Amino acid sequence: MTTLHLISVPHTSTTPEYSWCAFTSLARSFSSMMQGLGYEVILYAGPENDAKCSEHVNCRNGYEWTERVPPYETNHPGWRAFAEKATEEISKRYTPGDYLCLVGGGVQEPIAAAFPDARIVEPVSGYQGVMDNSYRVFPSYSWMHAVYGHYYTAAGADGRFYDAVIPHWVDMENHPEGSGDGDYILYVGRLIERKGLQIVREVAERTGLPLVVAGFGDESLVPPGANFVGSVEPGDRAQLMRNARCLLAPTLYVEPFGLVAIEAMASGTPAITTDFGAWTETVVDDVTGYRCNSLDDFCTAVEMSKDLDRSFIRQRTIDLYSAEAVGVQYNDFFEHLETLKGAGWYA
């Protein structure tokens, strides 16, 4: 049996309460998915856990977290304390041939450095700070190419045969199909300018449709008149999505993946996004949503979205982004890594 030592982040616990943290949600769902595929998953995380795993190990190590979103820096005392405890606990359980799966990237490099002979996997490298000595699984080709270009320059980058692209996934049982009966525009995400909240505001004003906003961050960015519901747990978020006419996700930066759009489409709700980054791979224009390049595009897309086939949108999400569909890809990935042992990286 293949053993995965899965290292989460220190400031949360792997429970639904912390679903607002993408890293925590990844660790929680990845643990459950891989355990269900027959892997032994030892999960090193905060004090509470409801993810499926062979063993849960609390690595909080006495540091009292006050920051909801701390700086991702290796010299931060909370990250240092977590790394020390995780390293201690992994040492008790690690055997040659095991994998270390780190969800935080470079900030967790001290843990990887303590096991120089281990095979390091970054299971969803949806961030810039990847490690040099890891097997990276990027959530989209757009983000893989962006990271390669950042580190090696656009013209100087060579590909890596031992990296992979596997998308995020959703538990479809948590996302029953909806009808959009609420007929409102929905925004779910961090409250920061680069998520395109000014566009959300102007689209709501121009279309005159009710706007529901869920998330955390700078609440001064919530458009006037919106129904602001704050952070919501997965069940409430799914209900908001299936009752919405459409999800609006006009992210201004190059989105590494954008799981929120997949969650919406899992309920059959169209996603309306910008036309770059991972959206170009996940949102099919005029089929599962719309990708937009102007304010007029966004407003037109909101109007047209009510006529899209919500059942087809949900079925496509099942085919491509369900845990069952993505789990097969991860199983193939780890089987491929097994063939590399002693055979060369290009085997």
pLDDT digits (tens, 9 = 90+) for 176-222: 999 999 999 999 999 999 999 999 999 999 999 999 999 999 999 99
* Calpha distance 264→323 (Å, rounded): 15
Mean pLDDT of 282-302: 98
Give the containing element (helix H, strand E) for 33. helix 22-36
Measured from the Cβ of residue 115, the count of other Cβ atoms closer than 10 Å reads 17
Q: Residue 321, Cα to own-chain centre: how many angstroms?
A: 12
Q: What percent of the chain has pLDDT over 70?
A: 98
**Tens of pLDDT along 150-183?**
998 999 989 888 899 999 999 999 999 999 999 9
pLDDT level of residue 67 (50, 70, 90 thresholds) = confident
In a domain, 347, yes or no: no
Same domain for 22 and 132, yes or no, is yes
CATH at residue 213: 3.40.50.2000
- Whether 257 has a pLDDT exceeding 50, the answer reads yes
Mean pLDDT of 100-112: 95
Same domain for 139 and 217, yes or no, is no
pLDDT level of residue 62 (50, 70, 90 thresholds) = confident
pLDDT level of residue 68 (50, 70, 90 thresholds) = confident
- Whether 83 has a pLDDT exceeding 50, the answer reads yes
List C-alpha distances in Å: 7 to 3, 20, 90, 108, 265. Answer: 13, 18, 9, 9, 29
- Does the CA dihedral 20-313-322-329 come out positive or negative? negative
Instruction: Return the half-sphere exposure (C-beta side, CA atoms, 13 A cut-off) of residue 299.
Output: 11
Same domain for 56 and 140, yes or no, is yes
Mean pLDDT of 2-13: 96
- Whether 42 has a pLDDT exceeding 50, the answer reads yes
**pLDDT of res. 341:** 61
Mean pLDDT of 273-286: 98
Burial of 71 (0-12, 13-18, 19+ CB in 10 A): exposed
Same domain for 208 and 151, yes or no, is no
Same domain for 219 and 279, yes or no, is yes
**pLDDT of res. 347:** 40
**pLDDT of res. 1:** 84
Same domain for 176 and 165, yes or no, is no
- Whether 58 has a pLDDT exceeding 60, the answer reads yes
Mean pLDDT of 53-72: 92
List C-alpha distances in Å: 129 to 106, 188, 337. Answer: 5, 25, 22
- Whether 346 has a pLDDT exceeding 50, the answer reads no
In a domain, 345, yes or no: no
**pLDDT of res. 159:** 87
Burial of 171 (0-12, 13-18, 19+ CB in 10 A): middle
pLDDT level of residue 339 (50, 70, 90 thresholds) = confident
Same domain for 115 and 34, yes or no, is yes
Least confident of 75-84, 155-164, 292-301: 155-164
* Calpha distance 132→135 (Å, rounded): 9
Mean pLDDT of 313-317: 98
Give the containing element (helix H, strand E) for 242. helix 234-243
- Whether 342 has a pLDDT exceeding 60, the answer reads no
In a domain, 238, yes or no: yes
Same domain for 48 and 165, yes or no, is yes
pTM for this model (two decimals): 0.94
Same domain for 272 and 138, yes or no, is no
Q: Which residues contact 152 (CB under 8 A, 6 or more apart)?
A: 158
In a domain, 346, yes or no: no
Domain count, the chain: 2
In a domain, 311, yes or no: yes
Which token pair is 115? 């096991």
* Calpha distance 27→14 (Å, rounded): 7
Same domain for 148 and 289, yes or no, is no
Same domain for 155 and 178, yes or no, is no
* Calpha distance 247→236 (Å, rounded): 15
Q: Which domain holds residue 335?
A: 3-169+323-340
What is the average pLDDT value for the chain, to the nearest integer? 94
Mean pLDDT of 286-295: 98
Same domain for 43 and 118, yes or no, is yes
